[in-house]
């Protein structure tokens, strides 16, 4: 079955630092990949998604992610983080033969002003 793993559990950065959060997926045919963000006390919101085409996907709030098939990765990036980016970030992939999403364990990002 498709799954994702996020190896960074907690990342702490200063404002204006560059961000890269890792996400690796297991192979399972057609790959659709998602990044969701959960701000403190709020629900999960879609940040960006990859279905096909250009492997570099642009999302909201300056985020982007690159699908690298050879590395089974879909890392999330932002060139310059802001304090308001403090949140938990989840990578997700549809489960093979199912209709639900499998979510990674999440990476908590803390941005220090």
Partner 1 sequence: DAGVIQSPRHEVTEMGQEVTLRCKPISGHDYLFWYRQTMMRGLELLIYFNNNVPIDDSGMPEDRFSAKMPNASFSTLKIQPSEPRDSAVYFCASRGTVGSPLHFGNGTRLTVT
Q: What is the DSSP string of 3-53?
A: -EE---SEEEEETT--EEE--EE---SS--EEEEEE-TTS-EEEEEEE-SS
Candidates 25, 34, 67, 89: give the one binding partner 1 (CB under 8 A): 34
Candidates 19, 90, 93, 109: give the one binding partner 1 (CB under 8 A): 90
Candidates 51, 58, 68, 83: give the one binding partner 1 (CB under 8 A): 51
By CB under 8 A, is residue 44 in contact with partner 1? yes
By CB under 8 A, is residue 64 in contact with partner 1? no
Candidates 1, 56, 60, 98: give the one binding partner 1 (CB under 8 A): 98
Min CB(55)–partner 1 separation in Å:
17
CB 104 within 8 A of CB 4: yes
By CB under 8 A, is residue 96 in contact with partner 1? no
The closest of 94, 93, 97, 90 to 76, measured between CA atoms, is: 90
Count how many Cα atoms sit within 13 Å of the Cα of residue 102 in the half-sphere of its side chain: 19
- The binding site for partner 1 (CB under 8 A) comprises 32, 34, 36, 42-46, 49, 51, 90, 94, 98-106
């Amino acid at each position: 079955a498709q799954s994702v793993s996020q190896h960074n559990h907690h990342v702490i950065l200063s404002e204006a630092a560059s961000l890269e959060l890792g996400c690796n997926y297991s192979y399972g045919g057609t790959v659709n990949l998602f990044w969701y963000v959960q701000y403190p006390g709020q629900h999960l919101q879609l940040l960006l998604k990859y279905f096909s085409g250009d492997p570099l996907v642009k999302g909201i709030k300056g985020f982007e992610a690159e699908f690298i098939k050879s590395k089974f990765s879909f890392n999330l990036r932002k060139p310059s983080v802001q304090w308001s980016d403090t949140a938990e970030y989840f990578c997700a992939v549809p489960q093979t033969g199912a209709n639900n999403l499998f979510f990674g364990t999440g990476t908590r990002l803390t941005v220090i002003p």
